[in-house]
Chain A
Amino acid sequence: MSTAPLRLVGNDDYGVKIPASSAAPAIESETQLRALLTALSGVDAVGLEARAAKLATRSIKKSTKMAAIDLAISMVDLTTLEGADTPGRVSSLCAKALRPDPRDLTVPSVAAVCVYPDLVAHARSVLGSAPVAVASVATAFPSGRASLAVKLLDVREALAAGADEIDMVIDRGAFLSGRLGQAFEEIVAVKGACGDAHLKVILETGELVTYDNVRRASWLAMLGGADFIKTSTGKVSVNATTPVALVMLEAVRDYAETTGRIVGVKVAGGIRTTKDAMKYLVLVNETTGSTWLTPHLFRFGASSLLNDLLMQRLKQRRGAYVRPDEFSGD
């Protein structure tokens, strides 16, 4: 027997409803900012983690898995952020970014490479006009402990060298000590320096610790002008986790519904397997939906993940488990 179709409050659509015109509140003082952030709903850690765990049981198979693997590959920001990085290392990385599997040209290229500012020019020259973006970390990455002037110089040099995207770090010291206005102003200033370049704000969720902090920092970053919010630098012991990503996805969803502006999410650090990547895609699928299922709005900051995605892709085609040596170690 059939039952009456869904009737939503408001109109015929369902999902995440994004208003056509922007309605972001103008932030005029730290007091106002604090009031706005503390008025956000709290997060119950137990319920959040249970939801993330339940979504992790979604079973992705066959054609969905093939499509999801290719989507995940196209969402990778292939990263090298080591003190020992050299132009040679970056060249290998860029080659892999463009052509992850040289024997199979149907494999999509990744979204971007992610490097330190002083290697941006080299990455740019290797990639040329290829459709792989150059993302640069900046603002005294990873600690963020430097003056605003130094941080802005860091950003400008990266942009001058040809970076398309800037991954900045939020000032956790300022945030955790309640200097929300300072953390906010910094983001506004960096966004100003970015111009058309696309700004990701790294929250360093492992240092924020609580989910309430992650929700508030997400909103602070978005109000400050972030184009993306990102979980981690990958340089501390606790990086991206599915519950943290879930909070951030809920935040971008609510922000889009409130202000009409769509902000992306990048998860970084500790994501090594296809299975992990699938869990994150499920979260996106069931929290923010179709609009966000694209490299324009969702990224994986990773290095070894790419090879596992390639292995799984090959395994799906061959029907047998594959040796890791099949793929380059870049």
Chain B
Amino acid sequence: MTEKIPANSRLGSLEYDPAPESASIARLKSSYGLFIDGSFSDPSQHEQFVTLNPANEEVLATVAQASNADVDHAVQAARRAYETVWSKTTGAERSKYLFRIARLIQERARELAVVETLDNGKPIRESRDIDIPLAAAHFFYYAGWADKLGHAGFGANPRPIGVAGQIIPWNFPLLMAAWKLAPALAAGNTCVLKPAETTPLSALLLAEILQQAELPPGVVNIVTGDGSTGAALVEHAGVDKIAFTGSTAVGRLIQQRVASSQKRLTLELGGKGANIVFEDAPIDEMIEGVIDGIFFNQGHVCCAGSRLLVQESVADEVLRRLVRRVEQLRVGDPMDKNTDVGAINSAAQLARIQELTAFGEGEGATRYTSSCELPDKGYWFAPTVFADVSQSHRIAREEIFGPVLSVLTFRTPEEAVAKANNSSYGLACGVWSEKGSRTLWVAQRLRAGVIWANTYNRFDPTSPFGGVRESGFGREGGRHGLEAYLDV
């Protein structure tokens, strides 16, 4: 061959034309009421606030701000439903309701995925292929526990707790609703769910699904609103159990607020996940896993692998490949099927990411940021890698909750473990090595609720998820996930 050899080969030179998913399936209303006791209230009865599409800052709809009175109304409905209907419903019947809900989610999957992407900013590929299927699967899994609770290892006839107040975050809106509702209902509790302020829409669509499933009124109530709605729910005397997923700061407040009550509590909070890469890691899959660990869902993941701990002997090569891979990430319109990284969920979150990243540069870390073009409107942050980070840097300790990776090095397995554990968090870690005994040795010593070996960000309804230390307590998923909702 006598071809002139070019100095480099450009990745992604075959340009993919825009491949937008159609938003018309969403059929959003212009304004929403609250879902209490089986029906939607009249939106005009409530103060309304807007929910935006973070990709273009356009208003999607207005939703109701639930007042203290509304929260009280919802809790009363949940209590009535518990006492008169749900606690008298057999496990076999509860099971069939949950199977119906799961099936309906599957049937309306496309609609749910589009709504989720419009409201949250995550790529349609992710809501379609991950969020919605996992949400359906979660309901399927817990449907199958409802009629066999005596086999779950909590005694022959475990009873539910009563009324559960559940507060969920904006990063996986529908999936987090599924993680809360499915086990609670399977165990026989009734619920009052408060979706996040910036992502209420998929929960409201779920409410329609609950109606289609003919779930008895009051078994699930959905109250939208801001932090004050959540506070009202936490403090309501008629709630027997609180489940919260969100930041450690708010989790701390909640734990303080319920301290002198008898309320049961589970918390799923923040993290600063360490992705530990040994020199014998399977290199290409490891790069994908590290990338996925921090850029999946724009890094808005409590268990994100936001710290890369790479063995010093391979650090340069790993960094080179990482940076090359970062440049390939397609950042843009979340409704485009080829988009890898979508929008930041809100102006507030974007400001926080920018602040911490600027601080990181100031601390002396070396910054690599993708040269991708960002749209003019909407909230966007280009994927960023910081190298030469040390444990004392703020960007190595604080949760950024955005597409920013901090890279540190280590020399021995012990040092890797020590650095990984050097955090007040303890949610998730990754370990990359082809040597099984070492992976297990490291896993045994990591203080984390979830450890991924040669993979990252894998979720399954059967697999318990949750943290240690300031990442919270309690587990969601699996047999263990029932414990939070049983009186055992």
Nearest B residue (CB) for A46: B455
Report yes or no: B282 in contact with A57, Cβ–Cβ below 8 A: no
Binding stretch for chain B, among A58-66, A108-116, A120-128, A135-143: A58-66
Bound CA span A285–B382, Å: 22
Bound CA span A109–B373, Å: 38
Chain A residues lying within 8 Å of B320, measured Cβ to Cβ, are 8-10
- Residues 283-323 of chain B, each 1 if its beta carbon lies under 8 Å from chain A, else 0: 11110110000000000000000000000000010011001
Say yes or no: A198-B316 contact (C-beta < 8 A), given A5-B371, A46-B455. no
Any B CB within 8 A of the CB of A18: yes
Nearest B residue (CB) for A7: B368
Say yes or no: A15-B367 contact (C-beta < 8 A), given A57-B129, A262-B5. no
What does DSSP make chain A's interface, helix, strand, loop or mixed?
loop
Chain B residues lying within 8 Å of A250, measured Cβ to Cβ, are 284
Indicate which residue in B8, B280, B328 contacts A13 across the interface (CB closer than 8 Å).
B8
Say yes or no: A16-B8 contact (C-beta < 8 A), given A3-B384, A42-B282, A285-B14. yes
Report yes or no: B5 in contact with A48, Cβ–Cβ below 8 A: no
Report yes or no: B16 in contact with A58, Cβ–Cβ below 8 A: yes
Nearest A residue (CB) for B15: A64
- Residues 4-15 of chain B, each 1 if its beta carbon lies under 8 Å from chain A, else 0: 011111111111
Using C-beta atoms within 8 Å of the partner chain, give the interface range for chain A.
Answer: 35 or more
Chain B residues lying within 8 Å of A20, measured Cβ to Cβ, are 5, 7
Smallest beta-carbon distance B288→chain A, Å: 5
Q: Which of B89-114 contact A (CB under 8 A)?
A: none
Smallest beta-carbon distance A68→chain B, Å: 7
Any B CB within 8 A of the CB of A289: yes
Give the total of B residues in contact with A, Cβ under 8 Å.
Answer: 52
Indicate which residue in B8, B282, B369 contacts A15 across the interface (CB closer than 8 Å).
B8
Residue among B284, B288, B371 with the highest chain A CB neighbour number at 10 A: B284
Report yes or no: A13 in contact with B5, Cβ–Cβ below 8 A: no
Any A CB within 8 A of the CB of B85: no
Smallest beta-carbon distance B284→chain A, Å: 5
Report yes or no: A8 in contact with B19, Cβ–Cβ below 8 A: no
Say yes or no: A3-B288 contact (C-beta < 8 A), given A16-B8, A57-B337, A63-B17. no
Report yes or no: B14 in contact with A18, Cβ–Cβ below 8 A: no
Nearest A residue (CB) for B336: A59
Report yes or no: B338 in contact with A42, Cβ–Cβ below 8 A: no
Report yes or no: A288 in contact with B9, Cβ–Cβ below 8 A: yes
Any A CB within 8 A of the CB of B125: yes
Any B CB within 8 A of the CB of A290: yes
Bound CA span A43–B328, Å: 21
Report yes or no: A289 in contact with B11, Cβ–Cβ below 8 A: yes
Report yes or no: A47 in contact with B282, Cβ–Cβ below 8 A: yes
Report yes or no: A68 in contact with B14, Cβ–Cβ below 8 A: yes
Nearest A residue (CB) for B129: A57
Indicate which residue in A10, A15, A227 contacts B1 across the interface (CB closer than 8 Å).
A227
Q: Which of A5-45 contact B (CB under 8 A)?
A: 5-10, 13-18, 20, 41-44
Say yes or no: A296-B17 contact (C-beta < 8 A), given A8-B324, A47-B289. no
Bound CA span A61–B371, Å: 25
Any A CB within 8 A of the CB of B327: yes
Smallest beta-carbon distance B107→chain A, Å: 21
Bound CA span A324–B371, Å: 45
Smallest beta-carbon distance B337→chain A, Å: 4
| Ranked 8 nearest A-B pairs via Cβ | A47-B285, A291-B9, A59-B19, A290-B13, A289-B9, A41-B283, A44-B282, A16-B9
A-B contact pairs, 8 of them (CB 8 A): A2-B374, A4-B369, A6-B370, A13-B7, A44-B454, A60-B16, A61-B16, A64-B15
Known: A6-B370, A60-B17. 10 other contacts (CB 8 A): A13-B8, A15-B11, A20-B5, A44-B434, A65-B17, A260-B5, A262-B5, A286-B328, A291-B10, A292-B9
A residues apposed to B, CB below 8 Å: 1-10, 13-18, 20, 41-44, 46-48, 50-51, 57-65, 67-68, 198, 227, 250, 253, 256, 260, 262, 281-282, 285-293, 296
